[in-house]
């Protein structure tokens, strides 16, 4: 089901419907515990948090309790998602540099990463946390009916969405000044929130389709940057790889080379997408909303 407003209903009702649907999907994924349950649940939680961020511009403190629940759920799901992402990122790095290390070295490192993930998944504490996450998401879903969301006229859309644009632009400038993994990750989160919010409004602003797709590309590159950093940290800290320090240093150097290129592309694309001042972006949105 699309993460998008239905033009036949009010914005207030549509946003609540989207949130409840996403939370139901997330809790059901965790209940079924299928192979991609964590990934799907985490994606839904991020969708919901983007909507809540939008609503907080109207009612600043109205969603504080549910915001804490969603934040806690997201943190738990992120740990498990990173364990999966580490292996996928390692496979991409191996494909990018197929001859840099021997096949046997690649196989040994990957096997250790898989073992570490398996230990995490088997930990009974992890399963209890996932059960708690599912319960929290169901609690938030019940709470949505009581959210004090006022009527939101279409004319307020540009101003609301400009907050996310401004936050993305500021985060990019901070990352340009000091491109640390933390600064780049914060920029990615702001870009992802803006992307989600524009997707929600896409039925009202069909002319923004290209911009939405480009934001998705930017978020993807920034996500790959973060995943490479997580891979580097995991390999350095994994006690099972302590005997392969020279190989780990080589792998870290390989991933750093890929990060440099991703960072270059991200700043180039971000510079184009986020070049306009917020006031100019709001005016462009007003045209897109036909206001």
What was the pLDDT predicted at 15? 92
Topology at the third CATH level for domain 11-288: CHAD domain (1.40.20)
pLDDT > 90 fraction of the chain, expressed in percent and rounded: 77
**Phi, psi at 110, each rounded to 5°:** -65, -40
CA 88/CA 268 separation, integer angstroms: 26
pLDDT, averaged across the chain:
92
Residue 25 is encoded by which pair of tokens? 């999907």
Q: What pTM was computed for the model?
A: 0.92
Residue 184 to residue 124: CA distance in whole angstroms: 33
User: What are the residue ranges spanned by the domains of the chain?
Assistant: 11-288
Tell me the pLDDT band of 1, cut-offs 50, 70 and 90: very low
Give pLDDT, residue 191: 98
Q: Label residue 9 by pLDDT band (50, 70, 90).
A: confident
Tens-place pLDDT, residues 63-88: 889 999 999 999 999 988 898 899 99
Contact 27, 33 (CB under 8 A): no
Task: Measure Cα distances from 70 to 23, 192, 225 in Å.
Answer: 10, 16, 24
């Amino acid at each position: 089901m699309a993460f998008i407003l239905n033009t036949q209903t009010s914005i207030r009702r549509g946003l609540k419907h989207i949130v409840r649907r996403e939370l139901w999907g997330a809790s059901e994924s965790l209940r079924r515990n299928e192979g991609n349950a964590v990934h799907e649940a985490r994606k839904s939680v991020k969708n919901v948090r983007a909507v809540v961020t939008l609503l907080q511009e109207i009612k600043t403190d109205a969603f504080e309790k549910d915001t804490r629940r969603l934040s806690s759920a997201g943190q738990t799901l992120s740990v498990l998602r990173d364990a999966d992402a580490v292996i996928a990122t390692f496979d991409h790095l191996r494909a990018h540099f197929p001859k840099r290390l021997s096949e046997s070295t690649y196989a040994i490192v990957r096997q250790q990463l898989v073992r570490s993930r398996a230990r995490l998944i088997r930990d009974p504490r992890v399963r209890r946390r996932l059960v708690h996450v599912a319960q929290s998401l169901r609690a938030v879903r019940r709470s949505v009916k009581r959210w004090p969301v006022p009527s939101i006229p279409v004319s307020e859309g540009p101003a609301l969405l400009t907050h996310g644009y401004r936050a993305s632009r500021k985060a990019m400038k901070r990352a340009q000044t000091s491109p640390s993994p933390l600064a780049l990750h914060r920029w990615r989160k702001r870009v992802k929130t803006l992307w989600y919010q524009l997707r929600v409004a896409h039925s009202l602003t069909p002319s923004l389709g290209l911009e939405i797709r480009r934001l998705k590309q930017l978020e993807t590159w920034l996500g790959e940057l973060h995943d490479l950093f997580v891979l580097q940290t995991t390999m350095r800290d994994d006690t099972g790889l302590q005997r392969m320090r020279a190989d780990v240093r080589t792998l870290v150097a390989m991933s750093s080379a890929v990060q440099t290129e991703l960072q270059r592309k991200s700043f180039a694309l971000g510079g184009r997408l986020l070049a306009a001042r917020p006031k100019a972006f709001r005016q462009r949105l007003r045209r897109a909303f036909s206001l």
